[in-house]
Amino acid sequence: MDYDNGEKDFINIVGFACTYCAFKASEMAGSLRLKYPEGVKVIQVPCSSRVDPAFVIKAIFEGADGVFVAGCHPGDCHFIRGNYFTRRRIFALKEMFDAFSMRGKVRLFWTSAAEARKFVEKVTKMYEDLKEGKNEG
């Protein structure tokens, strides 16, 4: 990862989306032909709680300009309680990146399977912020 806070013309964002909510939202975004920046690439996981902070750290240092974790709204997880743990874990991870002045690079958001537009909004905003070099969040 190159350390700089300047503008770039193309950035890479890797995202984790849970099968039952966020990934479905991203599928619907495709069905609705909504557009979002090409640098955003999504990895499917069964539950957002599968996301090990080690994955996020590895992605950041392997060249991703940003990483997001998207899951079901707390209380609506298909696996009942998984995303409560995601919430704590990723919140702590963001705090760690904040300590290193890199908070903007890791994001967490919740979407239900129907919220395709919200998914697109969130990833687009993230892309634009990071393109402008807003790494500190």
Partner 1 sequence: MKGKRIERENFLNALKRFAKEGPGLLLGFERKDRKFRTKVFRKEFDDLSLFNPVFQVNTAIHLRRIFSKDLKIVCILRPCETRAYVELTKLTQVEPTSLICGSTDCFGTVSSKRDDLSFPEKPEDLKTFLENLSDLRYACQTCRHKNGVFGDFGIRIDSDWNFWFIPYTERSVPLYELIEGPESEIPEAFKREEERSKTLFQTDLQEFRKDFEKCIMCLNCRDMCPVCYCVDCLFNSDEYLPKGDALINSIMRSKASEIPKNKEVYHFIRMYHVSQTCVGCGSCEEACPQNIPLTKYFKGISERLSGLFDYVSGRSFEERIPYTTFKEEELDNASD
Partner 2 sequence: MKTGIFICHCGHNIKHTVDVKALSEYFKSIPNVYISTDYSFVCSEPGQDLIRKSIEKYKLDRVIVASCTPSLHGDLFKDLLKKSGLNPFFLRRVSIREHCSWVGDDIKKNTEKAKKLILGGLFSVVHNVPLEEKVVDVDKSAVIIGGGIAGLSAACFLSRMGISVHVIEKEKELGGHVKLLKKVWPSGRSGREIIGEMVSELEGRDNVKIYTDARVESLEGYFGNYVMRISVGGDKEIYLKAGGIIVATGFTPFDPSIKPELSYGKDKRILTTLDIERGLDEIELPQAPKVAILHCVGSRDESIGKSYCSRVCCINALRAAQTIKEKYPEAYVECFYMDVRAHPKGGEEYYEEIQKMGVLFTRGVVAEIVPKEKALLVRGEDTLLSEVFEKEFDLVILSIGMSSEIGNRRISQLLKVSLDRDGFFLEAHIKLRPFDTAVKGIFIAGCCSGPKDVEESINQGRASALKLFGMLNKGYTFLEPFIADVSEKRCSGCRMCEMVCVANAIRYEAIKKVAKVEEAQCMGCGLCSATCPSSAITLKGYSDTQICDEISGLLWRE
Query: For binding to partner 2 (CB under 8 A), which residues are involved?
Result: 10, 12, 14, 24, 26-27, 29-31, 33-39, 41-47, 49-55, 58-59, 62-64, 76, 78-82, 85, 89, 120
Residue 128: contacted member of partner 1, partner 2, none (CB under 5 to 8 Å, by partner type): none
DSSP state of 114: T
Q: What b/e readout covers 23-44, taking b as 16+ CB neighbours within 10 angstroms?
A: bbbbbbbeeeeeebbebbebee
**Residue among 90, 113, 120, 130 that touches partner 1 (CB under 8 A):** 90
Place of tokens 């539950």: 47
Identify any residues that bridge with 41 across adjacent strands, giving them in sequence order.
14
Whole-number minimum distance, CB 21 to partner 1, in Å?
Answer: 13
Q: Does 9 interact with partner 1 (rule: CB under 8 A)? A: no
Place of tokens 């890797």: 14
**Least distance CB 38 / partner 1 (angstroms):** 20
Q: Are strands 13-18 and 66-71 parallel, antiparallel or unpaired?
A: parallel
Binders of partner 1: how many residues, by CB under 8 A?
33
* 3-class secondary structure, 104: helix
**Does residue 84 touch partner 1 according to CB under 8 A?**
yes
In the chain, alpha helices (H): 22-31, 53-61, 82-99, 116-131
Which residues contact partner 1 by CB under 8 A? 3, 53-54, 57-58, 61-63, 74-75, 81, 84-85, 87-96, 99-102, 107-110, 122, 126
